[in-house]
Amino acid sequence: MWRVILLSMTSNSIRLIRLIPVFLMLIAMTSTVRASSSDRPMNLVWISVEDMSSWLGCYGDATVPTPNVDRLATEGIRYLNAFATTPVCAPSRSTLITGKWPTEIGSMHMRTGNQSRAALSRNPEAYADIPNYEAVPPSEVRCFPELLRAEGRFCTNRSKTDYQFKAPATTWDRTGGKAHWKGRRTADQPFFAVFNLTVTHESGTFAKQSREPKVADPASVAVPPYYPDTPTVRDDIARTYDNIAAMDRQVGRILKELEDAGELENTVVMFFSDHGVGLPRGKRCIYDSGTRIPLIIRWPAAMDRRGVDDRVVSFVDFAPTALSICGIRPPIWMSGRAFAGEYTAPGTGFAFLHADRMDAVLDRTRAVTDGRYRYVRNLMPSRPRLYNVAYAEQIPMMADIHALRASGDATTDQWQLVDGTKPAEEFYDTASDPHEVRNLIADPSQTERITRLRATLAAWMQDTGDLGLLSEGDMVRRHLWHGAPQKPATALPTLAIEIIDGRRHAVVECETEGASLGWRLEGESTWHLVDGPIRLPDDATKIEVLAHRIGYVPRTSTGPVSPVVE
């Protein structure tokens, strides 16, 4: 397996010919075109917050002050029609990192390889016939930060990586609770940095969770008509606003770090949430309350890009947009379209949405929106809209919702909370009914719109090969594992040490199509991308190599690098 070859001029030519397919693959993978000849490419920062609807001053909600997020909106572009692909985090995150629909790659169920302990405590058979698996995208798919790293960017993630698959170690330069763009190798190295702020997560309303400083008055908060207006409901809403105020302060600290380092005016900042509010009938529900998100892109002042944009954008568009902002043409395998940057493309005008298994509770819903009208197809109408997910039961107001169900006193606007079944189809006009409580599916004045959106959704499901229509076990074994009885493993990477121009170089290969390849020397913690022969330092004695196709078991090898003449 390990080999070292001394090359003559002739064998150098042979080696270059042998490596042509590798270089062609990298070109096809990245489709890279540089944005400009500037010595300072723009940096990109993602500020991703959790479980939050557009309850912000810049979106017209003045319940609590959000001056730092409002500043981003004033100095950038605020999007009115931005949507998560699903109303829950991990499947959404799988789309953000790949630019693929969850229903294309088998990441739509929450979660794949991490079964809910709360659900298992209630029912040990909750996950019967569902193996421990990971989503498996097509072989050409990469986590997009890998494409940025290939272009020389320093990529960091603080800190979540639950993408419904284990991300290859080549995805990030740094990841974890201390990952920061300040750790880059040189002061002028461009960076892509993700900051995931968790203070607004639904768990922030749990009774056992310590509270943020009180900012919102429960007596003054607006209570959506689908909730019972009780002190507990008001307290949970107010507590959610308190967490939003705390999040805003964290955003301020991130901006100050950029300003203090002189980087803010050379950095594009994207601010968004991973789905809608983390309260009942928000998170896990496919309505606006669960899927419409705030999105702001703050551009450097010199670019003078400010205002409001009503284009319909989806999480599937975020990866191509990030590449476009960084001057890289999005690869053709991405399912979305860039909505900003050099390679901006026309949008479809629609956002497609799905909701599938949540923890151990199976449901299937598909929906499409054009920003105003929403068509919903419930594929399991015998199930209730608001089912009992063990984790969400810890939100205090759930007790009041159960009491409302038992009382029989629900209003007409509360049907989605209390009904034991769902209609097969739903249709809403969010302009006249922002809370989506009046189902217009039988309204003859909406027939033309319903027919159009129904056909649009059906075409999307067919075109993307919606894997969520299959039983989960069948999807895994037949489509992700191709009939294998267990999770497939990436082939062991091979290593050859070659002498090129008098210097030692390592050549790493793998038989598994689509495997990301990485390497690191003894004592290093960061995996470097393999993008050709690796020039080895004179004092190197060992090298570790990695091969990892997404959704497969990764494999590593370690070997000596002292040359041996054949």
Active site residue 89: yes
> Closest by alpha carbon to 190, among 269, 98, 263?
263
State how far the Cα of 246 lies from the Cα of 240, in Å rounded to an integer.
Answer: 10
Treating both helix axes as pointing N-terminal to C-terminal, what angle do 231-260 and 67-74 enclose, rounded to 10 degrees? 60
Upstream peptide bond of 159 is cis (omega within 30 degrees of 0): yes
Show the beta-strand stretches assigned E in 139-224. 154-158, 174-175, 191-197
What sign results for the dihedral spanned by CA atoms 277, 47, 270, 62?
Answer: positive
Residue 495 burial (CB < 10 Å; 0-12/13-18/19+)? buried
Catalytic residue among 58, 89, 143, 326: 89
Tokens representing 508 are 């790493």
State how far the Cα of 184 lies from the Cα of 176, in Å rounded to an integer.
Answer: 15
Phi-psi region of 96 (alpha: psi -120 to 50; beta: other; left: phi over 0): alpha
Upstream peptide bond of 111 is cis (omega within 30 degrees of 0): yes
> Closest by alpha carbon to 226, among 430, 417, 397, 421?
417
State how far the Cα of 518 lies from the Cα of 386, in Å rounded to an integer.
Answer: 45
**Which segments of 261-339 does DSSP mark as H helices, in order?**
288-291, 318-325
Tokens representing 13 are 């030519």
State how far the Cα of 193 lies from the Cα of 180, in Å rounded to an integer.
Answer: 7
- Asked if 150 and 31 touch (Cβ cutoff 8 Å), the reply is no
> Closest by alpha carbon to 138, among 531, 533, 513, 471?
513
CB atoms within 10 A of CB 208: 6
Map tokens 């300072």 to a residue: 40
**Which segments of 99-211 does DSSP mark as H helices, in order?**
102-105, 117-122, 144-150
Supply the residues annotated as catalytic.
Answer: 89
